[in-house]
């Protein structure tokens, strides 16, 4: 540790203004503060500070995402082997490792592109590197289909980081959730790579692991997500990739086609517990999303529909399929794009749940509503706050007038 | 029966180094220093020059805008120097004490039998008036105002703060406290409010006459006078209230009783770097060294005149501030080189965040806190942090943002007239983004005062 510190002190002058490597000052600074807590002391105001900092907060979100990530990797392998019919012969490690190899490039691309932009901007603006993208960079691979091409992810990540975050001023100033903007960009710019039947199951073998499904050796599988099946089908029955019907339990476990991190309710709930116990995510938002979603789904279910089977989904199923859980736990709770007032968080969360189910039920062309619901409510977060701030202002005014 | 108010939001930071309830005299302080900066809002005009002889109560400087408002010497002796900084700003007036504390005469009287004008004149002449603060703006009170009430906090809830139950001993300062209150009551057409802690045993406060006593319970900042005002009688636009510390009330009372001016007071020497934290009798402006005297063996420490949340950093050979009631000595955090600290368990460090485990270790455990920022400054990220430690009917984060925007209308609407920087000290402590809220609020109040003048 001492040797490392001495090494950093020795090379540091090269990175400072006028040094040989001053073009990488922000990168060096980023790694230095990552390794060692900076020795800065308080200059004004309080002489002592809480040990919490934004690195801690962001890394806890990443930790909370790990169960969903690991499960997602396993599920990618599972779907591939299931469709190929070789699941019985493959060991657990083979299945997982195949998924790992399939998902890893997406994580790398997302981080390299996003952090590259962040480092450049930090260098350009002479600021410290902000940790916000640590979370976004992990979220992005988890909300795309496994067959989404890497170059498209790179383009979408760059678009989101620049146009949804940096032009507003960087971490803490963005109006929309960066990871969701990435997904929205993908969805509207490359719809065929983001939806349909063919993108949810990995089709190529990697380093001899997994099975090649593309060359026609296997056919007759349905690669659609649960929501996709219900939206286009004539019953609410959901099947797995081989056509066997699945129930609510399977939806909760999550061995189903879908975006990489969104399928397993159990893995997401482990993350939710980590976020709530550590206080990193706000429970008000999270609970409200589920309440709003459940109530709306219940209402649609009570009305029922002959033609649109999504209406007939049970409210429990609505919450368990698609990106509802993942969005509620990891996306809606983003503190920067949520209202800042505690009362506002209830309304914000509730409306996300409501709007997500309404989009699912009322828009037959688009089975998933969570992404658009959160982005829509991001837009209204400031307005919700405004109402509660105005209430505080009016209270003070009436106190003055009633004097 | 006193009204009782329970404060729910807030935070008690349990630090090591609380003062034991023993007292001794501080060493003779050879030099004294009075800083105009301690009396925020005054523009000083120096009334003495180098070599002048002074007594306790001799005028050192007065306010340019309000020449009646004077700051006086806490000791007798001679003026050593008038230290000036950039653009001839007066940094401090340095005095050399003769150790006798001879006082200019003060009129011995029963303040309750004097007229308001006489009391005000006496307090202005003797320099006591400069110890009265006003809200809005948290500056030295303007003697021409008619405050709607005067508020006195009968307990200090800040980390390691002196226990008022111990400092304001019934037998020793009962009369002084009452006389001081009687004098203050003459300055307002409204009431004098004294707040005490629910568990307080301080008879000196409980048996006061002519005041409204309110009981408070709950964590810091329940003892902050601003919080108490907000709960008892919030300040509206156009209203002025005055606040004063019981230390200065006792000093006023003792002047009326004895006919001499005496600023001596019992302050606490505290902090994890102090070998035997306890109470010392000393004076405002005295040398820190006269109190600390060999109680601090470590080199890399920070001396704070005041508490660790709102105090002012002073050097080892610095002086006690005019409004400080404690000296805190804690380790500097500038040589930690903590490896990957942001992900470590950090069991020996306190945090309000449940991402650390100090919340599992119970509320009794005392921690050593150093001055490290524990992170880099960022934009606002987490929400609701400030609200959890800000027990007023005000939205702290929105107010801070309005100040950053210099939006005067919004500041007024969001209640800036009710707050002082000290009310935001806990917000600054818990802030994940390490935003300097106290500095921002101070600048906002000064800006607003200037714009509205």
pLDDT at site B392: 93
Q: Say if residue A195's pLDDT is above 80.
A: no
Q: What secondary structure letter does DSSP report for B348?
A: T
Measured between alpha carbons, how far is B64 from B69 in angstroms, rounded to an integer?
A: 9
Q: Do A50 and B397 touch (CB under 8 A)?
A: no
Q: What is the pLDDT of residue A215?
A: 59
B147, part of any domain: no
User: What tokens appear for B173 in the block?
Assistant: 């300062």
What is the arrangement of strands in the sheet containing B191-197, beginning at the earlier edge strand?
B3-6, B212-217, B191-197, B149-153, B241-243, B133-135, B139-140
Mean pLDDT for chain B?
A: 92
| Nearest-neighbour CA in chain B from A276: distance (Å) | 9
Q: What is the pLDDT of residues A225-237, one digit of tens each?
A: 877 777 777 777 7
The answer to whether the beta carbons of residues A61 and A276 sit under 8 Å apart is no
Q: Give me the residue from B309, B311, B376 closest to A33, CB to CB.
A: B376
Residue contact A42–B439, C-beta within 8 A: no
> Could you report how far apart the first and last alpha carbons of chain B are, in Å?
42
B14-41 tens-digit pLDDT: 999 999 999 999 889 999 999 999 999 9
For residue B347, give the chain A residue with the closest CA: A51
Q: What is the pLDDT of residues B73-109, one digit of tens each?
A: 999 999 999 999 999 999 999 999 999 999 999 989 8
Q: Do A42 and B371 touch (CB under 8 A)?
A: yes
Q: A35: nearest CA in chain B?
A: B340
pLDDT tens, B139-162? Answer: 999 999 999 999 999 999 999 999
Same domain, A128 and A190: yes
Position B292 in a domain:
no
CA–CA distance, B326 with B309 (Å, rounded to integer) = 12
Q: Choosing among B239, B304, B355, B422, which should be mutated to test the A contact, i.e. which has the most A CBs within 10 A?
A: B355
Mean pLDDT of A63-83: 91
pLDDT band at residue B43 using 50, 70 and 90 as cut-offs: very high
In a domain, B79, yes or no: no
How many Å apart are CA B386 and CA B392, to the nearest integer? Answer: 11
Nearest CA in chain B to A403: B236
Q: Write b or e for each residue in B121-149: b if 16 or more Cβ atoms lie within 10 A of its Cβ, otherwise e.
A: bbbbbbbbbbbbbbbbbbbbbbbeeebbb
A177 and A255 in a common domain: no
Q: What is the mean pLDDT of residues B101-118?
A: 92
Report, in angstroms and rounded to the nearest whole number, the Rg of chain A calculated over CA atoms: 23
pLDDT of amino acid B286: 95
Within a domain: B435: yes
* Residue B436 tokens, joined: 């300097």
- Domain membership of residue B392 (yes or no) is yes
User: Which position has the higher pLDDT, A84 or B367?
Assistant: B367
> Residue A199 falls within a domain, yes or no?
no
3-state secondary structure chain A: CHHHHHHHHHHHHHHCCCCCCHHHHHHHHHHHHHHECCCCECCCCCCCCCCCCHHHHHHHHHHHHHHHHHHHHHHHHHHHHHHHCCCCCCCHHHHHHHHHHHHHHHHHHHHHHHHHHHHHHHHHHCCCCCCHHHHHHHHHHHCCCCCCCHHHHHHHHHHHHHHHHHHHCCCCCCCCCHHHHHHHHHHHHCHHHHCCCCCCCCCCCECCECCCCCCCCCCCCCCCCHHHHHHHCCCCCEECCCCCEECHHHHHHCCCCCCCCCCCHHHHHHHHHHHHHCCCCCHHHHHHHHHHHHHHHHHHHHHCCCCCHHHHCCHHHHHHCCCHHHHHHHHCCCCCCCCCCHHHHHHHHHHHHHHHHHHHHHCCCCCCCHHHHHHHHHHHHHHHHHHHHHHHHHHHHHHHHCC
Q: Is B356 on the interface with A (CB under 8 A)?
A: yes
pLDDT number for residue A208: 75
Out of A1, A60, A128, the one facing B376 most closely (by C-beta) is A128
Q: What is the pLDDT of residues B410-450, one digit of tens each?
A: 999 999 999 999 999 999 999 999 999 999 999 999 999 99
Picking from B340, B374, B422 by the largest number of A CB atoms within 10 A of its own CB, the best residue to mutate is: B374
Q: Which of A381, A393, A315 is nearest to A354 (CA)?
A: A315
pLDDT tens per residue, range A152-178: 999 999 999 999 999 998 888 999 999
Cβ-Cβ contacts under 8 Å for B357 (sequence gap 6 or more) = B345, B347
Contacts A–B by Cβ distance under 8 A: 210
Domain identity same for A117 and A13: no
Residue at B135 is within a domain: no
Please, are residues B7 and B359 in contact by the beta-carbon 8 Å criterion? no
pLDDT for A312 equals: 81
Q: Domain range for residue B431?
A: 373-453
pLDDT score at A218: 58
Look at chain B and report how many structural domains it folds into.
1
Domain presence at residue A264: yes
Cα separation, B427 vs B423, whole angstroms: 8
Query: Percent of chain B beyond pLDDT 90?
Result: 80
Q: How far is A399 from chain B (nearest CA, A)?
A: 8
Percent of chain A with pLDDT over 70: 97
Q: Which helix (H) or strand (E) holds B144?
A: none
* Whether B360 contacts chain A with CB within 8 A: no
Domains identified in chain A, total number: 3
Query: How many angstroms separate the CA of residue A341 from the nearest CA in chain B?
Result: 7
Q: Is the pLDDT at A126 greater than 90, yes or no?
A: no
Q: Which residues of B touch A338 (CB under 8 A)?
A: 383
CA distance to partner chain A, nearest, from residue B3 (Å):
21
Write the CA distances from B313 to A174, A191, B209, B376, B444, integer angstroms: 37, 60, 38, 21, 22
| CA-CA-CA-CA torsion sign (A376, A381, A387, A390) | negative
In a domain, A79, yes or no: yes
Scanning the structure block, which residue is given the tokens 């108010």?
A: B5
- Is there a contact between B434 and A46 if contact means CB atoms under 8 Å apart? no
Count Cα atoms within 13 angstroms, Cβ side, for B331.
15
Specify whether A233 is located in the same domain as A338. Answer: yes
* Inside any domain, residue A231: yes
pLDDT value of residue A24: 77
Q: Percent of chain A having pLDDT more than 90?
A: 46
B272 assigned to some structural domain: no
pLDDT tens readout for residues B267-305: 999 999 999 999 999 999 999 999 998 889 888 999 999
Own/partner contacts of A12-15, CB < 8 Å, gap of 24 or more, are: none
CB A47 within 8 A of CB B309: yes
Chain A CB contacts of B434 under 8 Å are: 49, 53
**B306: chain A residues, CB-CB within 8 Å:** none
Chain B 143-162, CB below 8 Å of chain A: which residues?
Answer: 159
**Mind listing the pLDDT tens digit for each residue in B369-386?**
999 888 888 889 888 899
- Strands, E, within B138-264: which ranges? 139-140, 149-153, 191-197, 212-217, 241-243
On whether both A15 and A85 belong to a single domain, the answer is no
> If 0-12 CB within 10 Å is exposed, 13-18 middle and 19+ buried, where does residue B335 land?
exposed
Residue A246: pLDDT band with limits 50, 70, 90: confident
Contact (CB<8Å) A389/B398: yes
Given pLDDT bands bounded at 50, 70 and 90, which one contains residue A224? confident
Domain-located, residue A126: yes
Q: Is B400 contained in some domain?
A: yes
Residue B110 — very low, low, confident or very high, per pLDDT cuts 50/70/90?
very high
ipTM of this complex > 0.85?
yes
- Which pTM was predicted? 0.92
CA distances from A93 to A87, A101, A208, A283 (A): 12, 12, 14, 36
Domain coverage including residue A174: 70-194
Query: pLDDT tens digits for A10-33?
Result: 877 777 777 777 777 777 887 888
Question: CA of B425, closest CA in chain A: separation in Å?
Answer: 6
Asked whether residue A151 is domain-assigned, the answer is yes
pLDDT, tens digit, 9 for 90 and up, residues B209-242: 999 999 999 999 999 999 999 999 999 988 999 9
- pLDDT, tens only, B324-357: 999 999 999 888 777 887 788 777 788 888 888 8
Instruction: Tell whether B432 lies on the interface with A, counting CB pairs under 8 A.
Output: yes
B57 vs A240, which has greater pLDDT? B57
CB contact under 8 A, A54 and B378: yes
Q: What is the pLDDT of residue A356?
A: 93
A242 and A156 co-located in one domain: no
Q: Tell me: do A31 and A78 sit in the same domain.
A: no
Tell me the three state secondary structure of residue B252.
Answer: helix
Task: Kindly list the residues from chain B whose CB atom is less than 8 angstroms away from the CB atom of residue A38.
Answer: 373, 375-376
B235 touches B136 (CB < 8 A): yes
| Angle, CA B248 vertex, CA B245 and CA B252 arms, to 5° | 140
What kind and span of H or E run contains B90? strand B90-97
The whole-number pLDDT of residue A42 equals 86
d(CA B223, CA B200): 12
Are A11 and A126 part of one and the same domain?
Answer: no
Report the C-alpha gap between A237 and A226 in whole angstroms.
9
Residue A49 lies in a domain: no
Judge whether residue B63 has pLDDT over 70: yes
- Could you tell me if B135 and B418 are in contact, meaning their C-beta atoms sit under 8 angstroms apart? yes
**Six-digit token pair at B92?**
């401090």
Do residues B201 and B168 make contact, with C-beta atoms less than 8 angstroms apart?
Answer: no
Indicate whether A353 and A289 sit together in one domain.
Answer: yes
Q: What is the mean pLDDT of chain A?
A: 87
Instruction: Give the span between the Cα atoms of B451 and A355, in whole angstroms.
Output: 46
Residues A252, A358, single domain; the answer is: yes
Distance CA B208, CA B186 (A): 16
Residues in chain B with CB shorter than 8 Å from the CB of A57 are 355, 381-382, 432
User: What confidence tier does A217 reach under pLDDT thresholds 50, 70, 90?
Assistant: low
Residue A187, domain member (yes or no): yes
CA distance readout (Å), B237 to B135, B136, B240, B412, B444: 11, 9, 9, 8, 16
Please list every residue in chain B whose beta carbon sits closer than 8 Å to the beta carbon of residue A42.
371-373
Which among B13, B376, B399 is the top mutation candidate for probing chain A, defined by the most A β-carbons within 10 Å of its own β-carbon? B376
Q: Are residues A340 and A251 part of one domain? A: yes
């Amino acid at each position: 540790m001492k040797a490392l510190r001495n090494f950093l002190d020795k090379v540091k002058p090269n990175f400072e203004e006028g040094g040989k490597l001053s073009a990488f000052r922000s990168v060096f600074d980023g790694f230095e503060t990552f390794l060692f807590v900076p020795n800065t002391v308080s200059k004004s105001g309080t002489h002592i500070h809480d040990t919490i900092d934004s690195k801690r907060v962001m890394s806890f979100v990443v930790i909370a995402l790990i169960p969903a990530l690991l499960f997602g990797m396993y599920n990618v392998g599972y779907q591939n082997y299931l469709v190929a019919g070789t699941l019985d012969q493959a060991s657990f490690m083979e299945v997982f490792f195949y998924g790992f190899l399939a998902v890893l490039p997406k994580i790398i691309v997302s981080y390299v592109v996003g952090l590259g932009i962040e480092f450049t901007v930090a260098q350009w603006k002479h600021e410290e590197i902000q940790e916000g993208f640590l979370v976004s960079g992990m979220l992005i691979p988890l909300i795309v289909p496994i067959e989404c091409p890497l170059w498209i992810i790179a383009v979408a990540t760059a678009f989101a980081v620049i146009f949804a975050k940096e032009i507003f001023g960087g971490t803490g100033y963005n109006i929309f959730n960066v990871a969701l903007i990435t997904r929205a960009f993908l969805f509207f710019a490359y719809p065929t790579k983001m939806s349909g039947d063919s993108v949810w199951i990995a089709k190529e073998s990697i380093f001899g692991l997994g099975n090649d499904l593309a060359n026609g050796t296997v056919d007759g599988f349905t690669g659609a997500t649960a929501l996709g099946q219900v939206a286009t089908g004539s019953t609410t029955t959901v099947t797995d990739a081989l056509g066997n019907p699945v129930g609510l339990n399977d939806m909760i476990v999550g061995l189903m086609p879908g975006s990489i991190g969104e399928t397993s309710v159990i893995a997401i709930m482990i993350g939710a517990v980590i976020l709530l116990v550590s206080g990193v995510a706000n429970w008000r938002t999270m609970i409200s999303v589920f309440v709003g979603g459940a109530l709306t789904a219940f209402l649609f279910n009570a009305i029922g529909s002959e033609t649109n089977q999504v209406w007939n989904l049970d409210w429990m199923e609505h919450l368990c399929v698609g990106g509802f859980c993942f969005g509620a736990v990891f996306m809606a709770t983003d503190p920067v794009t949520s209202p800042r007032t505690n009362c506002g968080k209830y309304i914000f969360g509730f409306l996300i749940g409501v709007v997500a189910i309404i989009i699912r039920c009322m828009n037959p062309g688009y089975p998933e509503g969570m992404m658009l619901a959160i982005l829509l409510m991001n837009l209204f977060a400031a307005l919700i706050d405004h109402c509660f701030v105005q209430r505080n202002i009016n209270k003070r005014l009436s106190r003055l007038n009633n004097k | 029966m006193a009204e009782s108010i329970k404060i729910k939001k807030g935070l008690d930071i349990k630090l090591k180094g609380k003062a034991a309830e023993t007292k001794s005299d501080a060493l003779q302080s050879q030099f004294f220093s009075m800083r105009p900066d301690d009396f925020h809002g005054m523009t000083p005009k120096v009334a003495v020059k180098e070599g002048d002889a002074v007594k306790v109560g001799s005028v050192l400087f007065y306010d340019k805008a309000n020449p009646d408002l004077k700051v006086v010497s806490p000791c007798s002796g001679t003026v050593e120097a008038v230290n000036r900084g950039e653009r001839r700003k007066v940094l401090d007036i340095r005095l050399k004490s003769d150790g006798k504390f001879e006082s200019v005469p003060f009129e011995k009287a029963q303040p309750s039998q004097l007229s308001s004008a006489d009391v005000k004149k006496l307090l202005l002449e003797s320099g006591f008036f400069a110890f009265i603060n006003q809200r809005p703006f948290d500056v030295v009170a303007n003697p021409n105002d008619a405050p709607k009430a005067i508020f006195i906090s009968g307990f200090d809830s800040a980390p390691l703060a002196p226990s008022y139950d111990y400092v304001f001993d019934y037998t020793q300062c009962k009369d002084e406290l009452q006389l001081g209150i009687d004098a203050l009551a003459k300055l307002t057409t409204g009431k004098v409010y004294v707040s005490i802690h629910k568990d307080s045993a301080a008879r000196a406060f409980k048996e006061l006459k002519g005041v409204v006593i309110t009981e408070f319970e709950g964590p810091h900042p329940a003892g902050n006078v601003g919080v108490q005002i907000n709960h008892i009688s919030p300040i509206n636009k156009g209203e002025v209230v005055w606040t004063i510390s019981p230390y200065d009330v006792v000093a006023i009372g003792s002047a009326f009783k004895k006919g001499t001016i005496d600023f001596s007071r019992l302050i606490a020497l505290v902090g994890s770097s102090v070998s035997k934290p306890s109470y010392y009798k000393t004076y405002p402006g005295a040398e820190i060294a006269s109190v600390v005297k060999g109680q601090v063996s470590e080199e890399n420490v920070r001396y704070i005149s005041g508490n660790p949340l709102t105090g002012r950093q002073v050097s080892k050979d610095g002086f006690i501030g005019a409004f400080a009631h404690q000296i805190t000595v804690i380790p500097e955090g500038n040589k930690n080189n903590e490896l990957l600290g942001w992900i470590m368990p950090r069991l020996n460090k306190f945090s309000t965040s449940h991402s650390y485990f100090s919340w599992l270790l119970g509320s009794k455990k005392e921690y050593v806190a150093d001055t490290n920022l524990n992170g880099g400054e960022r934009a606002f990220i987490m929400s609701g942090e400030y609200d959890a430690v800000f027990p007023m009917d005000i939205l702290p984060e929105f107010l801070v943002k309005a100040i950053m925007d210099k939006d005067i209308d919004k500041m007024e609407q969001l209640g800036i007239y009710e707050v002082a920087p000290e009310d935001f000290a806990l917000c600054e402590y818990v802030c994940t983004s390490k935003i300097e809220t106290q500095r921002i609020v101070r600048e906002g109040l000064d800006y607003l005062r200037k714009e509205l003048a």
